[in-house]
């Protein structure tokens, strides 16, 4: 009897949390739409920020939770963008179907790439994924169906803030639920010590390929949105620097923190746009800001922590502040102890 009651209370708590979360998402969407709905420029920036959220969180899933350094994220993005653009311009299929098929193909290619390459580790894996991204880009550069060097022009402008915002919210929701499941705990075990995880019975190859394919799927979905936002799909949009851009989002936000990736994606998108008027000094200021962030917060903006619904309750703020003070005091004591030990 007590077990049934416990299950009911757990289910009701989960349902109430989900309802609160849905309400917050809808409220945020309504607030942003009401505040910036009349300004096409700001809505475009918010749309781009939502796409970057999808790319940053999907890469953080691969890098931050299984420790796989993927430098080919732009390649999966290109697969989704080209597939969706070809289906839209040549076959006039529905937009959502095109996005889903592009993401599905990107996930399938991620599976094919992951099976042989994920046996590699560290720098070797990074080089392999980088080579894959370049293969995709050069292939698109030389095929007639992808438009060759001219790319695919005349792609309909179908991506708006509504599409990007809610698909980004769904992406984050799926990734967070995956991380908090038993599968996510297995991925964290692989990140901490792959040999120990395998010794404890975790199928490391299965989970590494699964996470790699999931990240590729969401990158392809974001690529489809990106192509229908710019109304042109060109090989120059998916270079190595594009992968580095999303790697920076994951690192600045904090590896192993989905909340950090969301914050970093929004922050870096608006920072890059704010510096657009400084044509000559733009990249210097942008790089300097990144260096400053990493000097002040080397662990990233969130440092592996996640924002929970409980954190929004003012009744819990006092306890959080006390815990923060205690952590800072313990850090100062450990630093003083290290200095005394060295002297």
pLDDT at 17: 75
Q: Given this model, what pLDDT does residue 92 score?
A: 82
pLDDT at 339: 59
Q: HEC profile for 300-325?
A: CCCCCCCCCHHHHCHHHHHHHHHHHH
What is the Cα–Cα distance from 171 to 166, expressed in whole angstroms?
8
pLDDT the model gives residue 304: 65
| pLDDT value, residue 325 | 63
Task: Output b/e per residue, 83-105; b: 16+ Cβ within 10 A.
Answer: bbbbbbbeeeeebeebbbbbbbb
Mean pLDDT in order along the chain per 10 residues (343 residues)? 60 74 89 87 94 94 88 93 94 92 95 83 84 91 90 92 95 92 90 87 89 94 95 91 90 88 92 81 80 81 69 55 64 63 57
The predicted structure's pLDDT at residue 169: 95
β strands within the chain, DSSP E: 152-153, 232-233
Strand, coil or helix: what is 92? coil
* Residue 33 CB burial class (10 angstroms; 0-12, 13-18, ≥19): middle
pLDDT of residue 238: 92
Distances in Å between the alpha carbon of 240 and those of 138, 196, 243, 288?
12, 33, 5, 21
Query: How much is the pLDDT for 282?
Result: 76
In 87-207 the beta strands, taken as DSSP E runs, fall at 152-153
* 169: three-class secondary structure by DSSP: helix
Write down the pTM of the prediction: 0.86
Q: What was the pLDDT predicted at 157? A: 94
Q: Is 16 helix (H, G, I), strand (E, B) or coil?
A: helix
Question: How many of the other CB atoms lie within 10 Å of CB of 315?
Answer: 7
Q: Is residue 186 within 8 Å of residue 202, measured between CB atoms? A: yes
**Would you list the domain boundaries of the chain?**
41-236
């Amino acid at each position: 009897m007590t077990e049934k009651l416990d299950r009911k209370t757990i289910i009701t708590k989960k349902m109430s949390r989900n309802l609160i979360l849905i309400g917050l998402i809808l409220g945020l969407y309504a607030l942003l739409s009401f505040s910036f709905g009349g300004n096409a420029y700001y809505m475009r920036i918010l749309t781009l920020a939502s796409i970057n959220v999808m790319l940053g969180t999907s890469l953080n899933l691969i890098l931050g939770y299984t420790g796989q350094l993927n430098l080919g994220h732009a390649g999966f993005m290109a697969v989704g963008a080209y597939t969706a653009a070809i289906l839209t311009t040549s076959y006039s299929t529905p937009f959502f179907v095109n996005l889903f098929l592009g993401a599905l193909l990107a996930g399938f290619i991620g599976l094919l790439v992951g099976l042989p390459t994920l046996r590699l580790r560290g720098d070797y894996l990074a080089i392999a994924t980088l080579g894959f991204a370049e293969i995709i880009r050069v292939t698109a550069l030389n095929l007639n169906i992808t438009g060759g060097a001219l790319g695919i022009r005349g792609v309909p402008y179908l991506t708006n803030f509504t599409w990007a915002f809610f698909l980004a919210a769904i992406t984050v929701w799926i990734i967070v639920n995956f991380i908090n499941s038993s599968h996510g705990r297995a991925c964290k075990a692989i990140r901490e010590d792959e040999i120990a995880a395998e010794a404890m019975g975790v199928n490391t190859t299965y989970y590494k390929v699964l996470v790699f394919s999931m990240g590729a799927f969401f990158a392809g979905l974001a690529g489809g949105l990106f192509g229908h936002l710019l109304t042109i799909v060109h090989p120059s949009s998916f270079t190595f620097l594009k992968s580095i851009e999303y790697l920076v989002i994951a690192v600045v936000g904090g590896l192993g923190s989905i909340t950090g990736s969301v914050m970093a994606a929004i922050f870096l998108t608006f920072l890059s746009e704010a510096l657009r008027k400084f044509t000559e000094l733009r990249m210097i200021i942008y790089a300097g800001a990144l260096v400053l962030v990493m000097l002040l917060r080397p662990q990233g903006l969130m440092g592996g922590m996640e924002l929970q619904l409980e954190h929004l309750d003012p009744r819990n703020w006092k306890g959080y502040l006390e815990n923060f003070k205690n952590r800072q005091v313990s850090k100062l004591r450990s630093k003083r102890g290290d200095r005394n030990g060295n002297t």
